[in-house]
């Protein structure tokens, strides 16, 4: 009804003989819908630019850490090694899917209408006028519109923006997980004068990436509200109007803010390759448990031993690596019963020298398996397995080959080819 | 872990020297993800078939009622006339948008992965093996996967299914609105032995199309839950698994059921063209208020009278058409204060002969405007307007042209061209 | 971090010996969370006031139309009669449920915390200080908080606001349905200078109630986004902050706007009791089909005839009431094949006198059933049923009792008691 | 219509004179709604039982680790110390809020209706019969119902179940975060024969708690779909029916499964108090940075030094604690450019002895601040600060008091009182 007011005032300013020509045959949405299409096109152009920046930043990051190994995680647990550069590729790959959906939705939203109060061209309007008028604006007629353009088109656009927001949310989540204190792999950029916390001066909080989590929630809520606009009565009701006036600008602001912040975070990311290596080192060789298992299984196969035995041997060795010492065992069985005791235990832990880390390569090649009550393996079985291992590793050549399993060169042999095969394109993806 | 169990049992059934070859180098999702892609492809094929059926049914309906005029509504109010066939085209147009989104999402979901526990090809795996293995299944490698295929792809597919469900929900909603008792435009098919209500034998309820409203809610809820699977930790967590096991089959069931029911409803739709005409007739000529206003505005422009006067004259005439009689007026001012009175009033209404409907064409060409307290028009203005109208309609040719404004032939002059321009295609849309 | 900035600036303005006392021991959320609780309390008070206004308006409406019968609908179809006042009670009843949920959530949200950076009272803080400080603000400590108050409390509050919005949406939906053109039961208030449509001067659009549909969508989206804030890492992450800064004010604005608009719509509602009666009259007695069926079933039981026969007789009579005439039948079988024909048919319909409406009471008491191909009833059965009816209605007393079934006095006998039993309360509900 | 079928068949089995008494005056939902209320009551009882079990388990956990200190985190970063028992209390506190909402919703859902086809008591029905009939079932009449019970009541119930699911999701999330490999604080129970991964024998995956994340998504989707049922036309449409048949059972299954799994996870949780202490130790005293800052600020205030200086000193000391060595620094500036190098660096890291951890207590009391380019502090300022620190710590008594700041006894002085104040109740909370 803002348009109605505008038309009325504008009309009165014209000489009477021209007044009836102004806004003639057209209804508000003959003007508002094409105008909306233009507004979306402009907003989309801004998002496209921000997306391009973001992907460019990711690309730079991927290149810089193309040979920096890290311990990849599944289920939050150290799994196998990959390069940090490769991790960044997985982020780009997901963002690319979302961007592709966004690009297609943009094309759909270049359709609009100018076809009168119920979409069948009142009086002076006609398909030809519609085509010409929309053409001037760079738009194409949508055949089969009612008083309004189908909100399915805009729903699809909102859905694609939700995908972008969710992928950025996933990248932010990974960034938060990697930045957890203890042995952080990276940090968000932290300003010289920044205060992490008003109470705790030591804090470097991941506030930017956490904000992304909140923004992804908002983008999702807004996109979904917009999708619900598809439900309209017959040739239209006006329920969609208030939603579009509020949620569209907000949705774009949220997505643009996310792109801007993530570009800032990723381009300023403080990466710790030393911690990445440290984490691999601390995993006691389990990062190659898959290769170790396969190696043993192949050797065992030559000797007629079931593949499952290889699995269980490597599992047993892996558990041994993380077996607690006597001090830890005691604490696990009897947690402190008062804080005074805890204070004493803390002193012990602070002063205690850390023992050299165990390693599954060594346990296995030295046939050093021992039973573990947490797994089902009788002393007899373990004894048998050690005999078997001694047999396998009697041979120097086998031992050399075995040790190769644990080298990064071996484990990362295909990383380069992922980079080669990874698609690039106009947009920098 | 069902896969883990299968692998272990199957492996034990092989001779030891072959065991290690089985499932070698692969992790569960190297098997599950491609299998999931195949399951989706199959389900999508079923949806494609059902969609094709549905659109075919809509096409038949559009053709059958290509020349059947109805009073189109905006905001639930009678607006202008169009054919029922044209209305059906607007439904097809929206369904086509949803289907296009669905088709593109299907293509995306033909990508998958077979690239080991963290996606960088453990031991024996390689990009070549992945390409070959997926190729056998008709799938293409997704470069940049982790342990799992990107859930952005599946999120997009779910979103497109939500669009289909929402469009079907919109068609069902329109069908429900048109079937409201009073002067229904159509009815859902009603079985010979059907009971509309266990209490009220006269009921013909719109239960099938109402069910669509419920199903659209469900489809939306399920699609959104699936989209949330994009959020996964690092190279994967398993949160997506339970969601996918439950919500994917349910989502397909819901969408297929919707397509099936709507095909049944639309192919069996009992249409009342007589009621459609009756509704136009009852609108007292307001169905052409736009043309009437434009006609007057043009005439007034010749006489230097502001276009806004044309608007206000037609508004005044339209309000006159629906002006209540004395009986109604009294009831509106003094609603009954006890039910005995209401019973008496009901008798009066049942017996009262209905007066001949007024018509804006006649009111205006006879210069029969009278003031209406609901609108801002002083008696002087109304007098002046009547003078003006008498002047305009003094001329027979003008009168003839004016009356043309109210003919369906004039009002529906562009309907045919909408049908001509309406795109068709392989899928029957 | 706006708080951090404030603290730093404020602190610098204090003499050094006092600086350390300012914001000592507290972290930002020790201040922000109680402040947030106060902001919510204030906003809630405004909602409470608007709710009270709204319910008062509904109460007035219910009283005014306490004896105004209307045809109630289920499944969009005329069902049985009730008063419009009673309909309003059903709206109040739902709003009351939502309001009760809102009231309980308000109480929960009067809990807050002031317990330091991780909720276990750093340095100078203590449970006593927390209790005292919160007490000054009228708040109560929440035991078991982390750095922040549990977002479950706020999630619950948002959920209750969604309920209010959805109930208002439901009332608005009913209002839209009743205002559909044809035989509208009411209209939204329409301003003297208002223009329903820039193109169509006759339009009185239900724009306010349609807006409610859009606002209900928005409220729901915002509430759900807020609920997602429950997910926070350990003692807190800051993802909830941006959501709360944007969505809370917006949610309150939406709900308050809804309450305001609906109060305006309902207090200015233009009600047409005459149309309500007209609609009952047009239903041909089917509004009492339930009572008619029960009456016959009881009579048949005396004669050993199955209850189901009563159902089928009333169904047959009801279908007869809406049986199309020859003209209509022809059009239904052969819809127009060109618009010229349609124009001619429209003329016929406009001029055709409307036949007197049939009525199930008369059909049944005159034993005037005839077979209908849409229902399963052979001519023999129908003949038999007519014989049976003649037998039943041979008796004058039975006939008199039968006719009572169709009176509003009989049908509305319990309305008064619903009003009596309907709970009222402090808030005017 | 399953009920319709049942009634028809059952009726036919009765002698004709009784048939009309069966299902007389009632409509399907007079039966279905009370039956639904009973089904919900039963399901709720099961949830109540499972909730009680879950809280009991949490209580046991809280008691067992009432004196076990851990490094609490905000923003994923080590913050201050608390006991693990206290953390569990924060979980219980949130669950209690959700449970309270659930209990209130249960009471609301003990209302139902038996008031005929539109809720105003057809023929033989009456408010008295309704009250009596519902009373037999333990239900109370809902005054103001239509053909159906208000879906606001059930919406509220679904919302409260969503809250329960989301809180369980939050507890599961915290559990996943604590179980991340590196220095895990606990593990989900892991079966003796369990395989974490078919490829990687060393894996102990957090599959149960990850499933909770997926289930929380599902519960949320289902609850929201149910809430949308509030939107129904006039005295009812049947859109709610399909939703309720599918989503209610699924929602209960999801919530019950979540409660069951979480009870299993929490009762079998393998906790590592040694790792908790280790994590405190590795934080280099920053766990007390708040107290350290306050201590210094108070000392400085006596000397007229601004409080902000205390903040900046502790920040500088904290950053010094985590200052990388030369090896790390080099790697950060020049990440490896090929994997061969990375392999060599890994060897170095594996063999390198770990230097003794630095500690902010020592840095500060020894006045050992040195400039850090990441913070804004000129060498002059740092020099000045060291002078100041020397002055403060010249006094033995001050030093002793200062050191107390870092003891667990001091830091956890209020933990006991949280336990004391924590509410318990009938349900074990």
Q: Tell me: the pLDDT tens digits for D124-149?
A: 899 999 999 999 999 999 999 999 99
Average pLDDT over residues B383-399: 96
Look at residue A3 in the predicted model and tell me its pLDDT.
78
- Quick one: what percent of chain C has pLDDT higher than 90? 80
For residue B12, the model assigns a pLDDT of: 82
Q: Do the chains contact at C170 and D232, CB–CB below 8 Å? A: yes
* pTM listed for this prediction: 0.96
Q: Which residues does residue C186 pair with via DSSP β-bridges, in sequence order?
A: C271
B308/C contact by beta carbon, under 8 A = no
**Among A366, A371, A394, A393, which Cα is nearest to A382's?**
A371
Is the CB of A315 inside 8 Å of chain D's CB atoms? yes
Q: Which residues of D form the catalytic set?
A: 75, 197
CB-facing half-sphere around the CA of C409: CA atoms within 13 A: 10
Nearest CA in chain D to A69: D342
Residues of chain B neighbouring D218 (CB-CB closer than 8 A): 225, 242-243, 246-247
pLDDT number for residue B356: 72
Instruction: Please say if the pLDDT value at position B365 is more than 50.
Output: yes
Average confidence score pLDDT of chain B: 93
- Determine the pLDDT at residue B428: 36
- Confidence label for C267 from pLDDT (cuts 50, 70 and 90): very high
Beta bridge partners of A38: none
**In b/e form, how buried is each residue of A292-316, taking b as 16+ CB within 10 angstroms?**
bbbbbbbbbbeeebbbbbbbbbbbb
d(CA B368, CA B364): 6
pLDDT, tens digit (0-9, with 9 covering 90-100), for D36-53? 999 999 999 999 999 999
Task: Tell whether D323 is within 8 A of chain B (Cβ).
Answer: no
DSSP code for C74: E
Q: How far is C92 from chain B (nearest CA, A)?
A: 21
D183-186, Cβ contacts within 8 angstroms, sequence gap of 24 or more: D183/A182, D183/D275, D183/D278, D183/D279, D183/D282, D184/D272, D184/D275, D185/D70, D185/D84, D185/D271, D185/D272, D185/D275, D185/D276, D185/D279, D186/D269, D186/D270, D186/D271, D186/D272
| C249 close contact with A: CB closer than 8 A | no
What pLDDT score does C196 carry?
Answer: 78
pLDDT more than 70, % of chain C:
98
Inspect the interface and report whether the beta carbons of C221 and A217 lie closer than 8 Å: no
Chain mean position to CA B212: 11
pLDDT at B207: 95
Beta bridge mates, B122 = none
CA distance B203 to B297: 48
State pLDDT tens for residues C189-208.
Answer: 988 778 778 788 888 899 99
- CB-based contact A342 D69, cutoff 8 Å: yes
- What's the pLDDT at D23? 77
Chains contacting B (3+ CB pairs below 8 angstroms) = A, C, D
Chain B environment of D118 (Cβ under 8 Å): none
Question: Does the distance separating the beta carbons of D332 and A273 come in below 8 Å?
Answer: yes
How many CB atoms are closer than 10 A to CB D40?
Answer: 20
Look at residue A380 in the predicted model and tell me its pLDDT: 94
User: Quick check: B107 contacting A, CB < 8 Å?
Assistant: no
Residue B39 burial by CB count (10 A; 0-12/13-18/19+): exposed, middle or buried? middle
Choose the catalytic residue: C197, C410, C414, C424.
Answer: C197
Contact assessment for residue D257 and residue C196, using Cβ atoms and an 8 Å cutoff? no
Collapsing DSSP to helix, strand or coil, C96 comes out as helix
Give the Å distances, CA to CA, from B402 to A319, B316, B413, C316.
93, 18, 16, 47
Closest CA to D424 of D62, D84, D83, D49: D62
User: According to the model, what pLDDT value does residue C354 have?
Assistant: 72
To probe the interface with C, which of A181, A217, A257 has the most C CB atoms within 10 Å?
A217
pLDDT tens for D301-315 read: 999 998 889 999 999
Residue B426's pLDDT is: 39
Å between C60 CA and nearest CA of chain A: 27
**Rounded mean pLDDT, B396-410:** 95
| Among candidate residues C132, C93, C98, the one with its CA nearest the CA of residue C115 | C132
Look at strands B111-112 and B140-141 and give their pairing: parallel
Neighbouring-strand partners of residue D71: D81
pLDDT number for residue B1: 65
Of residues D152, D220, D294, nearest to C97 (C-beta): D152
Q: Which residues of C touch A121 (CB under 8 A)?
A: none
Residue C122: pLDDT above 90?
no
- φ, ψ of residue D424 in degrees (nearest 5): -115, 180
Nearest to B163 among A79, A125, A155 (CB): A155
Mean pLDDT on D324-349: 92
| pLDDT tens-place string over residues D351-366 | 877 777 789 999 999 9
C355 or D30: which leads in pLDDT: D30
Instruction: For residue D426, name the pLDDT band (cuts at 50, 70, 90).
Output: very low
Task: For chain D, list the contacting chains (3+ Cβ pairs, <8 Å).
Answer: A, B, C
| pLDDT confidence of residue B261 | 98
Q: Which of B1, B28, B67, B75 is catalytic?
A: B75
A423 C-beta neighbours (distance < 10 Å), count: 10
On whether any CB of chain C is under 8 Å from the CB of B315, the answer is yes
Count CA within 13 A, CB hemisphere, residue A103. 13
Average pLDDT of chain D, as a whole number: 93
Q: What per-residue confidence (pLDDT) applies to A427?
A: 38
Contact D172, D179 (CB under 8 A): no
Interchain CB contact of D235 with C (< 8 Å): yes
The answer on pLDDT for B262 being more than 90 is: yes
Question: Quick check: D414 pLDDT over 60?
Answer: yes
- Mapped onto helix, strand or coil, the DSSP state of residue D321 is helix
Listed as ranges, residues in chain A with pLDDT below 50 are: 426-429
């Amino acid at each position: 009804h803002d348009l109605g007011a505008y038309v009325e005032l504008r009309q009165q300013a014209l000489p009477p003989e021209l007044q009836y020509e102004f806004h003639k045959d057209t209804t508000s949405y003959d003007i508002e819908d094409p105008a909306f299409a233009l507004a979306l096109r402009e907003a989309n152009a801004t998002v496209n630019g921000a997306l391009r920046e973001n992907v460019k930043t990711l690309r730079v990051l991927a290149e810089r850490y193309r040979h920096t190994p890290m311990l990849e995680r599944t289920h939050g647990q150290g799994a196998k090694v990959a390069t940090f550069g490769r991790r960044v590729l997985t982020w780009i790959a997901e963002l690319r899917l979302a961007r592709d959906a966004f690009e297609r939705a943009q094309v759909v939203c270049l359709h609009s209408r100018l076809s009168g109060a119920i979409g069948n061209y009142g009086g002076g309007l006609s398909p030809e006028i519609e085509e010409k008028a929309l053409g001037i604006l760079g738009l194409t007629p949508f055949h089969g519109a009612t008083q309004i353009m189908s909100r399915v088109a805009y729903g699809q656009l909102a859905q694609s923006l939700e995908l972008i927001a969710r992928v950025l949310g996933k990248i932010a989540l990974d960034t938060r997980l990697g930045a957890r204190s203890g042995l952080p792999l990276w940090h968000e950029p932290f300003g010289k004068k920044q205060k992490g916390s008003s109470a705790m001066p030591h804090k470097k909080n991941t506030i930017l990436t956490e904000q992304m989590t909140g923004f992804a929630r908002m983008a999702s809520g807004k996109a979904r509200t917009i999708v619900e606009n598809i439900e309209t009565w017959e040739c239209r009701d006006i329920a969609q109007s208030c939603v579009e006036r509020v949620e569209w600008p907000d949705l774009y602001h949220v997505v643009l803010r996310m792109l801007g912040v993530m570009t800032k975070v990723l381009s300023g990311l403080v990466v710790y390759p030393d911690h990445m290596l440290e984490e691999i080192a601390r995993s006691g060789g389990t990062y190659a448990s898959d290769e170790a298992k396969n190696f043993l299984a192949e050797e065992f196969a030559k000797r007629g031993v079931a593949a499952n035995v290889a699995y269980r041997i490597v599992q047993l060795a892996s558990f041994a690596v993380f077996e607690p010492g006597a001090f830890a065992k005691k604490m696990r069985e009897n947690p402190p019963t008062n804080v005074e005791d805890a204070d004493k235990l803390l002193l012990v832990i602070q002063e205690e020298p850390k023992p050299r880390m165990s390693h599954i390569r060594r346990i296995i090649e030295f046939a050093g398996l021992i039973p573990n009550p947490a797994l089902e393996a009788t002393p007899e079985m373990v004894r048998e397995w050690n005999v078997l291992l001694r047999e396998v590793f009697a041979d120097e050549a086998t031992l050399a080959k075995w040790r190769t399993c644990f080298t990064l060169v071996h484990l990362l042999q295909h990383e380069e080819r992922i980079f080669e095969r990874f698609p690039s394109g106009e947009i920098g993806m």
